[in-house]
Amino acid sequence: MITKKAEYAIIILAELASHPQGEILTSKKIAQNRSIPVNLVVQLLALLKDAGWITGTRGPTGGIKLNIDPSTINLREVIENIDGKIGITRCLFSDTPCQDKTHCSLRAIWVKAQQKMLSVLEDVSIKNLSEIDPSEINRIKD
Amino acid sequence: MITKKAEYAIIILAELASHPQGEILTSKKIAQNRSIPVNLVVQLLALLKDAGWITGTRGPTGGIKLNIDPSTINLREVIENIDGKIGITRCLFSDTPCQDKTHCSLRAIWVKAQQKMLSVLEDVSIKNLSEIDPSEINRIKD
DNA sequence: TATAATATAACCATATTGGTTATATTATAA
DNA sequence: TTATAATATAACCAATATGGTTATATTATA
């Protein structure tokens, strides 16, 4: 399952992207605006920083700033950055080849189902998300 | 995540479907043929029975027999029978409405991504699976 | 009547998840 | 120069889910 932490990370990036480019936000403010536990925000920001997506400056007047164009980050990337490799089934994490025919066919179906899912997530960027309006949701590629 | 138990259940049904119609198999035999712990097979058979998909007869010469046409059971049904409701995100399990705009848009994306995934699983029946050859996997609807 | 089978329920170790706590480091403003 | 407000890092923890085991009852045939 895609974890809540991954979801939070997406929301955090969307929050940053929803402000004028280069604007600095404190973790506390992000947490307040999006109702996420501050400690979790801090924890997640560390990972987003490692990915090179944000920059933090310390001290008073410090804060977090988006480091790259939010239209170049898609949801799949963010999820994988937080949760690691995505797999809808345990089978998709193992490298050992399948034993029997049916089982092996099943794996191919898992792969296909997962690809369909990931394709949707890849088609949505953080910028998309920060702009999208719930009433417009049908515009998402079908 | 789709659990290993759900995967096992699918494999068990495919094993039953791969034998001549109405043929009886023992749980032990199923477990042996598919390398699944016997106790797990027994546990899962109970759920498949509740779903009405199989019938068990007790005593020596007893065993398990497919109760319905395997072309009418799809993978999504089996998974939901074992794991319960499917959700790629915690968000999709909650009924409470979203608080903020971005978060709510996100939910719509989860829904869409999951629908794509489920659509693949719905398009594969137990019969399909028991017949399919790994080398033919590309025939799966694209 | 022994036995081979299904049926049912309780249990358990391990891993994951969502979140907390604690502490260190930095840089500004007074 | 020093208090303070911010990021940075790491360890920890309770609750739940997962994959599997154990134990016991029930049934029907040989």
pLDDT tens profile A49-85: 999 999 999 999 999 999 999 999 999 999 999 999 9
Measure A77 CA to D17 C1' (Å): 26
> How many CA within 13 A on the CB side of residue A13?
35
Check whether B103 has a pLDDT greater than 70: no
Task: Determine if strand C comes within 7 Å of the CB of B17.
Answer: no
Q: Which residue has the higher pLDDT, B108 or B96?
A: B108
* pLDDT band with cut points at 50, 70 and 90 for residue B100: low
B114: left (phi over 0), alpha (psi -120 to 50) or beta: alpha
pLDDT for the residue B98: 61
* pLDDT band with cut points at 50, 70 and 90 for residue B94: confident
What number is the average pLDDT over the span B127-138? Answer: 67
**Of B7, B116, B118, which has the smallest distance from its Cβ to A89's Cβ?**
B7
Name the residues contacting strand D (CB < 7 Å): A 25-28, 39, 42-43, 45-46, 49, 56-60, 62-64, 90; B 1, 3-5, 8, 37, 39-40, 42-43, 57-62, 83
pLDDT for the residue B21: 87
Residues from chain B that touch A87, judged by Cβ atoms under 8 A, are 1
pLDDT for the residue B22: 85
Q: Give, as ranges, the nucleotides of chain D with any atom within 7 Å of a protein CB.
A: 4-11, 18-23, 26-30
Residues 18-77, chain B, CB closer than 7 Å to nucleic strand C: 25-28, 39, 42-43, 45-46, 49, 56-60, 62-64
Structure confidence by residue, pLDDT tens digits, B14-65: 999 999 988 999 999 999 999 999 999 999 999 999 999 999 999 999 999 9
Structure confidence by residue, pLDDT tens digits, B112-125: 999 999 999 999 99
**Of B14, B18, B102, which has the smallest distance from its Cβ to A129's Cβ?**
B102
Q: Which residue has the higher pLDDT, B70 or A96?
A: B70
Which residue spans within chain B are E strands per DSSP?
54-57, 63-66
Q: Tens digit of pLDDT per residue, chain A (142 long)?
A: 999 999 999 999 999 999 998 899 999 999 999 999 999 999 999 999 999 999 999 999 999 999 999 999 999 999 999 999 999 999 998 876 565 556 678 999 999 999 999 999 999 999 999 886 544 444 444 4
pLDDT for the residue B101: 53
| Domains within chain B, CATH numbers bracketed | 4-139 (1.10.10.10)
Structure confidence by residue, pLDDT tens digits, B27-36: 999 999 999 9
- Three-state secondary structure call for residue A40: helix
Query: Are A90 and B1 in contact (CB < 8 Å)?
Result: yes
Query: Are B120 and A106 in contact (CB < 8 Å)?
Result: no
Amino acid identity at A125? S
* pLDDT band with cut points at 50, 70 and 90 for residue B77: very high
* pLDDT band with cut points at 50, 70 and 90 for residue B73: very high
- Nearest residue (CA) to C1' of C22: A39
Structure tokens at B35: 């390398």
Structure tokens at B53: 């998909």
Beta bridge partners of B57: B63
* pLDDT band with cut points at 50, 70 and 90 for residue B139: very low
Sequence-separated (6 or more) residues with CB below 8 Å from residue B43:
B5
- Three-state secondary structure call for residue A141: coil
What number is the average pLDDT over the span B134-142? Answer: 46
pLDDT for the residue A137: 46
Nearest alpha-carbon partner for B142 in A15, A46, A73, A116: A116
Portion of chain B with pLDDT greater than 70, in percent: 87
- Three-state secondary structure call for residue B2: strand
Query: Are A1 and B90 in contact (CB < 8 Å)?
Result: yes
